[in-house]
Each structure stands twice: as structure tokens, then as C-alpha cells.
Amino acid sequence: MRIIAVSTLKVFWTGKPEYRDAEKPVLAWYREVLRADWARPAGAKAQFGNASILRDGRAVFNIGGNKYRIVVWVNYPYRVVYIRFIGTHARYDAIDAQTI
């Protein structure tokens, strides 16, 4: 898979000292997604059992023991993952993952 807006991930863990612990789990997720080849949502769910598959190509991944969340939009035919949101579980609860 190709991941768009990787800089969003880096800005998150470098932006505030309290998020510095997100670097290793986020990079582990990133590397695993790079090696993936999801043709449909079931592929993402099979690889990441804790992922939540939403409508219209959206997916939510729990990172760092469910401390952080990454929301993506996936273009399955082209194998492209667009980062839409990364944040704490509390910040995730304040957004609409389907529209962000």
C-alpha cells in the first residue's frame, strides 16, 4: 500500500512531548501497512483484527495499546491509504471519523 500524508504522523509525535511515545507504535503500523496489499476492507480487518471498518473506505486503527487512533480513507483499487486523523483516544471521541 502507498500511504499519503506520512508527514501528518510525524508531526503528531514530534508536536508535543506527551505524544513522543507514539513514535514506535505508529512507525510499526506504518511499516506493516506499506507491506500490505488490501484489495478490499476485509484485507485490512484480517491484518489488523482491532481495526474498525467504516463506510466508504474509512477505517480506524488502534495504536499503542488503544492509546492512539489513526483514521484513514483507503482507495482499495489503487492501494492507497490517506491519513485523515491521528490523535489520542479522547480526541478521537470528539470527532466524526466518517466525515473527517
Question: Tens digits of per-residue pLDDT, 15-50?
Answer: 999 999 999 999 999 999 999 999 999 999 999 999
φ and ψ at 4, to 5 degrees? -100, 135
Cell numbers at residue 42, please?
476485509
Query: Where residue 83 falls among pLDDT bands split at 50, 70, 90?
Result: very high
pLDDT category, 86, cuts 50, 70, 90? Answer: very high
Query: Strand, coil or helix: what is 24?
Result: helix
pTM here is 0.94
* pLDDT at residue 90 in the model: 92
